[in-house]
Amino acid sequence: MNYKLTKDVIHLLEKFDSENKNNLYTADIEGFKSWISDNHSPTTSDNTIYWDGKENGRSAESAISTLLVHLNRYAKTYSKSAIFDSEFSTQEEFIYLINLKSFGEMSKTELIKRNVQEKPVGILTINRLINQKWVEQKDSDLDKRTKIISITQKGLDVLEKQMNNIRKATRIVSGNLTNSEKNELIRLLNKLDHFHSEIFGRNIDTKNLIETVYSEYSFNNN
């Protein structure tokens, strides 16, 4: 038996356990593998990556935040084009229908959380879909106070009419990335999404959000 290798693996497991206090990774082999990939794989040197304002001391975090905002706006522009002159009023309407088609019926709360929206905005979207008869609601078998939402045949039909343009829009958003770059981007975005979805699900008051998150997570080690 290679005892040195065993000791090295144990050391890595101990380090993984100590650095994963905030549960950014699942406490299983898949989480450990993701942590290894993120922290012990060869990465591009900081000196080879440029972003606007870097020479003036602008941080990587600032560049990432701005680029994500820009990409969201680009995606919304293509989405508006995809539903232009259609029965859809907003991007959220067809995204809600796509989620119901893909994942099946779910509660209003689940549907809103899946789309990372605040409840009042999500309820307005769902009500529009109900009025259009694109979705229907029923009482939950487990809790009569909970409404279960499902897509109707009319909803499937109106979605299918627009799917060709929607697929084109999603391809455009991916731009000129290669398949390997798309996979790497998905991996990184999934990591960010996992981090933020846990925080979002806690419904921390807006007034205390930044201070609460900043006090609980160690950003200096990133």
Is 79 within 8 Å of 86 (Cβ atoms)? no
Instruction: Over range 14-34, report the average pLDDT.
Output: 78
What pLDDT sits at residue 205? 92
Handedness of CA 102, 103, 108, 109 (dihedral sign): negative
pLDDT tens, residue by residue, 141-185: 888 888 999 999 999 999 999 999 999 999 999 999 999 999 999
φ, ψ of residue 139 in degrees (nearest 5) = -70, 145
What pLDDT sits at residue 40? 63
pTM over 0.75: no
The CA distance from 97 to 157, in Å, is 11
What are the distances in angstroms from CA 160 to CA 63, 86, 94, 164? Answer: 37, 12, 10, 8
Q: Amino acid identity, residue 123?
A: I
